Amino acid sequence: MGGRLTGIRVALLGGDAREAILLEELLRQGALVQVAGVPVLPAREGYTWYDDPLAAVRGAQVFILPVPGVNSEGRIYAPQSEQPLYLNQELAAAIPGGTPVLVGVARPFLQEMAATRGWRLVETADMDEMAILNSIPTAEGALMLAMQELPITLHGSQAFVLGLGRTGFTLARLLAGVGALVTVVDRGAADRARALVEGWRVVAFTDLAGVIGQAQVIFNTVPDLVLTAALLAATSPEVLIIDLASAPGGTDFEAAMTLQRRAMLAPGLPGKVAPRTAGLILARIYPTLILDCLERL
Ligand code: NAP
């Protein structure tokens, strides 16, 4: 089989439906993929499944970890695997320094291990191409949650979006598309100007306290504490807050509980609401990344 990745040996450990789609694409492009844990496929050219993760990483030129990566105990995300998979010292020692390690999000455990071992850690979730494409399933998931939780339609609702980055922009567009009355809150003058072009109401964070009481639903995308206790106290008791920012989010959840405001952190939406689309995004981006890491572009 000929393809851009012909002969490149890749180790893939753990994952879910997204990595299964990525695996199919790597094989289609000719890579030799050594898998431990999941995904399990019927026997086919280029694919080898190993019981033992140590065997799966041996000889690999690139190491792929699942999008959520590794937790603080070194456990690799592999919800469908019968056996837990751990990135322990023995496994780490089998991955030579300089090896590209691709992962969606690298938490401190993996960051420290990569630094100690001299791996080339590539965090993909925050790359523009990934983040912009992932903003679509994220925004759809956010709307789904709002529809499930609200007793009113989004159409005609006062919907606030905090932060007009890659996720916030797509989300605001989607909300406007279903007829919500969109208010965006952003600290950047250029982003606020873009929002005005779109026809959305625009508010600076410094003026938020004066209008936040109008919001029926608030979506936060800012990964910093922006929904403080003081601002929450100014919200309507009926408001729904959906915080999309990475943990711990941008909401003072303790204050929200004390004030009896409904607030939820909603992590990992692409993988939950649209695993196939999220997998296709990986399949679109990773082959080029692999070639780039191996300087074969
Ligand atoms: P992004 O493009 O960097 O956008 C972040 C926005 O927050 C920008 O507008 C940024 O403003 C603003 N911001 C950052 N710090 C701020 C502060 N202290 N005060 C006011 N505004 C601030 O990021 P993104 O790709 O949209 O992702 C946003 C968050 O969602 C991240 O935490 C990401 O990990 C998370 N995420 C979650 C999901 C999910 O499923 N829940 C999916 C994808 C992403 P500037 O441009 O001025 O810096």
Q: What is the pLDDT of residues 57-66, one digit of tens each?
A: 999 999 999 9
pLDDT range class, residue 292, cuts 50, 70, 90: very high
Give me ligand 1 centre to Cα 287, in Å.
26
CB of residue 163 inside a 6 A radius of ligand 1: yes
Please give the backbone phi and psi of residue 101, each rounded to the nearest 5 degrees, phi first.
Answer: -120, 110
SS3 49: strand
pLDDT at 82 over 90: no
The two three-digit tokens of residue 265, written as one number:
């952190």
For the chain, the maximum distance between any two Cα atoms, rounded to a whole number of angstroms, is 63
Give me ligand 1 centre to Cα 166, in Å.
7
Per-residue pLDDT tens digits for 91-120? 999 999 999 999 999 999 999 999 999 999
Give me ligand 1 centre to Cα 222, in Å.
4
For ligand 1, atom 5: residue with the closest CA:
165
CB of residue 223 inside a 6 A radius of ligand 1: yes
pLDDT at 53 over 80: yes
Among 133, 244, 281, name the best residue to mutate to test ligand 1's pocket (greatest count of ligand atoms within 8 A of Cβ): 244
The DSSP element (H or E) to which 32 belongs, if any, is strand 32-36
pLDDT at 1 over 70: no
Query: If you ran DSSP here, which 8-state letter would residue 251 be given?
Result: B
pLDDT range class, residue 32, cuts 50, 70, 90: very high
CB of residue 138 inside a 6 A radius of ligand 1: yes
Terminal Cα-to-Cα distance of the chain (whole angstroms): 19
Residue type, 208: L
The two three-digit tokens of residue 69, written as one number:
């990566």
Sign of CA dihedral 275, 287, 50, 58: negative
Q: Do residues 64 and 22 make contact, with C-beta atoms less than 8 angstroms apart?
A: yes
Cα–Cα separations (whole angstroms), residue 128 to 55, 124, 134, 166, 242: 34, 9, 10, 8, 23
Give the rounded percent of residues in the chain with a pLDDT score beyond 70. Answer: 99
Give me ligand 1 centre to Cα 242, in Å.
14
Q: How far apart are CA 8 and CA 40, in angstroms?
A: 20
Per-residue pLDDT tens digits for 126-185? 999 999 999 999 999 999 999 999 999 999 999 999 999 999 999 999 999 999 999 999
Give me ligand 1 centre to Cα 168, in Å.
8
CB of residue 186 inside a 6 A radius of ligand 1: yes
pLDDT at 71 over 80: yes
The two three-digit tokens of residue 186, written as one number:
């952003």
| Averaged pLDDT for residues 226-233 | 98
Give me ligand 1 centre to Cα 245, in Å.
6
The DSSP element (H or E) to which 93 belongs, if any, is helix 89-93
Length of the chain: 297
CB of residue 267 inside a 6 A radius of ligand 1: yes
| Averaged pLDDT for residues 268-294 | 96
CB of residue 243 inside a 6 A radius of ligand 1: no
β-pairing verdict for 75-76 and 85-86: antiparallel
> Which domains, from first to last, does the chain contain?
9-123+274-293 (3.40.50.720), 130-266 (3.40.50.720)
Q: Which pTM was predicted?
A: 0.93
User: For the CA atoms of 215, 243, 249, 201, what is the dihedral angle to 10 degrees?
Assistant: -40
Res 42: pLDDT: 83
Mean pLDDT of the chain: 96
| Averaged pLDDT for residues 202-211 | 96
pLDDT at 211 over 70: yes
Among 187, 264, 273, name the best residue to mutate to test ligand 1's pocket (greatest count of ligand atoms within 8 A of Cβ): 187
The two three-digit tokens of residue 245, written as one number:
């920012």
SS3 283: helix
Give me ligand 1 centre to Cα 272, in Å.
19
The DSSP element (H or E) to which 110 belongs, if any, is helix 108-117
pLDDT range class, residue 56, cuts 50, 70, 90: very high
